Structure 1
């Protein structure tokens, strides 16, 4: 396991276990740090708790005693734990730095880091960059919000390997010195306000991705997003734009026929198999970052002519008697569903619904022109039924869950229809994760076959 070379903290509290907390605690213990682990939901008999105690950690479960902060120099917080947590509040009040696990990974990484963030498209872009580099014979490993935890990934990496990280606002809010050598900033839309409280707080967390960058680093940014284009003027790094609206001299752009990097014609758009206008932005961002890190046009073309989408993100599931099924369970907000709907010109049956966060769905109205029917489920069923009526959609069905919704959608479909799961809601009213929800859809499609 790798060792820190310049990490000034000795007495450290890891707040929250899960994957990132466990990996952080194990890393710190392997670096001879004095570690206290605190988790509300874990029990003394949990395998993780037992193993950490064997490694030398002091593990406190079932409560969050404020006294746990006595003598602590640093708090490593699980990204999902809000800053309103009493332990976190007190740590901030008494001047204890609060970081997330990616800060630890940064201190252990020898090679280049590509960091990807944005409100939507992170996983697709992260995957595209990773595959483009692999197809270009580069050594690369992917981690962060996708795949394995960052600190777990870096232990087996050499300085010749590139680490590609998908980064959430939760992770980026807790950094001190972390910086990617190439940052990708895809877009900023209102999201996670239950955590960040205000849009400005959310933006600040996202913009942390470039706050520590220097003149030696690159910032790939969405020139079509005004809030981003304005903010990146503050960056010290080399600005590399991507845009779908105009030609740029130093970044990635597209006309009606081709995609370019600066003046280099990279690929014909008709050869790209990934659907959706929003994915064009993801592709441009990925091309820019990949080219900056040594990817070849041949490697990029191989990926773009074969990659059909990340699981649960406008993923093509199959064709049954001329009906095309797409799994977009990752669409946990209206913006993501808007983008999914814009990807298709065919008649569409939309499966939507989930956790009711109190919002209405009128922002979807302009995007429902091709929707011939809606099948709704979950806590937001009634709101979505009302939306369907306002949109003039004549066929509206209510189902008890995603599996039944899939069956109902197929029963009213016709040849050449798209059957699209794009819920516009979080999954937590019925499912533990959006992945579980998407898997249920995929299984239901396979049963129809």
Structure 2
């Protein structure tokens, strides 16, 4: 009996444990921290051995294969020791893909992954297909494969998950965009992060497709130097394309093998330029799979966006409150500010990931009337924008930030939470931050 050791007892770890057990592995789960009670219950129900607050080397280094959680860096001594022994270290996406023959649409990118994944899934469901949505969103892919028999999977995949693939091959791969993010995991070398994202296409063949942003110079330059075997399906809002999706006369036009779909941009449920691109990517994928034009049109018109991503919360005294807590880097906040259609009171701050706020300067000058900092250390934001806006206030709790915004905002304004930072200084995660924002608004 082969021994599967799983490092990390979170969503992906537990899913892999169940799938491993069902496929005849002896399974052991090891977590350096504490495992959540709900996950311990699952492990107990399945009779799976586990440990927490420790990785016992003797129980790990006798594995035939190791699945490590995407949160564990490759550089830690334990991973180095496992590899030295010649034991393969793979990701949950790789492990799960071995146990399904389903068609896979894999979606990666620095921003827009979640919305594109949800929208693609929505169109496929509306088209009547058997489809599961997993990966970085909802249930783990492994758990879905263990418990269901879907014919299609739409997977949101991070660069960390792609780092652990060997044979994983999506029929359709989407790269939404590539901007500097998580560089601490890639020795601060941007090209290593880019290479990691492009692993989504490395096992593809000429029957497969790569959908990508043709306006993203990082992606285009990389493809010129590192051609892929799959068929290229670009999308663009700047240029007309022979094949792929583009914008013309306020219409999205999708051309695939002499077939054309046209959709007016005014019909889109999602606002903002970035969502035009997310819609192009999802619609192209749906068309490649054979979803009818009418279904695609209807689906993009009635789609409800992702929570914590430009989510309209409430209008109070003609002021709209927008929750974009999922914007954890400058690029995501750039999209948010770009889509603001009224004077904006901007709530920003948190744990800085080495942000360069200069990129936001033109948008701040054009759109932002006041800035409310929300973080334990706001010095970089104050330095960047202190002289640019008329009013900048520092706050240290969500309730306080929302109360200040309520006082500042006037009829017709927008209050936007788009932090451009991670949330771990004052909140558990970006969901907690977004939920506290919504709660504080309801308590006004």
| TM-score, structure 2 normalization | 0.93
Q: 1:54, CA displacement in angstroms?
A: 6.3
The 1:226–1:357 alpha-carbon spacing in structure 2 relative to 1, beyond 3 Å, is: closer
**Counterpart in 1 of 2:127?**
136
**Structure 2 Cα separation of the partners of residues 441 and 78 of structure 1:** 30
Report deviation, 1:252: 1.0
Pair 270,54 (structure 1): closer, same or farther in 2 beyond 3 Å: closer
Q: 3-state DSSP class of the match of 2:6?
A: strand
| Alpha-carbon spacing, 1:50–1:424, altered in 2? closer, same or farther (3 Å) | closer
1:277-426 equivalent positions in 2, closer than 5 A: 277-368=273-364, 369-391=366-388, 393-426=389-422
- Per the alignment, residue 39 of structure 1 pairs with 31
Secondary structure at the aligned position of 1:390 is classed as: coil
Distance 1:332 1:50, change over 3 A: closer
**Structure 2 vs 1, CA of residues 47 and 417 (structure 1 numbering), >3 Å: closer, same or farther?**
closer
Which runs of structure 2 are paired with 1:110-129 in the superposition (5 Å)? 110-129=101-120
RMSD in angstroms over aligned alpha carbons?
2.0
Conservation of the 8 A alpha-carbon contact between 1:136 and 1:294: no
State the shift of 1:218 in Å.
1.0
Match of 1:188 in 2: 178
For the 8 Å contact 1:308–1:315, the answer to whether it is kept is: no
Alpha-carbon distance between aligned partners in 2 of 1:205 and 1:248, rounded to the nearest angstrom: 27
Q: 1:42 to 1:277 in 2, by over 3 A?
A: same
Name the residue aligned to 1:178.
Answer: 168
Tell me if structure 1 keeps the 8 A contact 2:19–2:96.
no
Deviates more, 1:341-350 or 1:264-273: 264-273
Deviation at 1:404, TM superposition (A): 1.9
Equivalent-residue separation in structure 1 for 2:46 and 2:116 (angstroms): 37
How many residues end up aligned between the 2 structures?
437
1:105 partnered with 2:96: yes
Match of 1:254 in 2: 247
- What is the CA distance between 1:403 and its match in structure 2? 2.4
1:400 offset after TM fit, Å?
2.1
Structure 1 residue 386 displacement after superposition:
2.6
Query: Whole-Å Cα distance in 2 between the matches of residues 374 and 308 of structure 1?
Result: 28
Q: Which residue of 2 aligns with 1:204?
A: 195
User: What SS does the corresponding residue of 1:155 show, helix, strand or coil?
Assistant: helix
Q: CA deviation at 1:202?
A: 1.3
Any residues of structure 2 matched to 1:147-162 within 5 Å, and which? 147-158=138-149, 161-162=151-152
Deviation at 1:383, TM superposition (A): 2.3
Structure 1 residue corresponding to 2:438, chosen from 428, 434, 442? 442
Tell me, in whole angstroms, the C-alpha distance in 1 between the residues paired with 2:121 and 2:184: 31
Counterpart residue number, 1:428: 424
Q: In the superposition, relative to structure 1, how do residues 273 and 408 fare at CA in structure 2: closer, same or farther (>3 Å)?
A: same
Contact 1:136 1:298 in 2 (8 A): no
Summarize the alignment of residues 56-67 of structure 1 with structure 2, pairs less than 5 Å apart: 56-67=47-58
Check if 1:14 corresponds to 2:6. yes
Q: 1:15 to 1:296 in 2, by over 3 A?
A: same
CA distance in 2, matches of 1:230, 1:386: 34
Name the structure 2 match of 1:6. Answer: none
The alignment partner of 1:384 has SS state of helix
SS at match of 1:163: strand
1:257-268 matches, cutoff 5 A: 257-262=250-255, 264-268=260-264
Q: Which runs of 5+ in 2 are unaligned?
A: none
Point out where structure 1 has 5 or more consecutive residues left out of the alignment: 1-8
Distance 1:359 1:272 in 2: 31
Cα 1:270–1:49 change in 2 (3 A) is closer
- Residues 121-177 of structure 1: CA deviation (Å, up to 9, x unaligned): 000000111111122222221111111110111234436x21100001111110111
**Inter-partner Cα distance in structure 2 for 1:105 and 1:188:** 26
Q: What is the CA-CA distance between 1:370 and the residue it aligns to?
A: 1.1
Q: Distance in 1 between matches of 2:333 and 2:96?
A: 33
CA–CA distance in 2 between the matches of 1:334 and 1:196? 19
How far did 1:435 drift?
Answer: 0.6
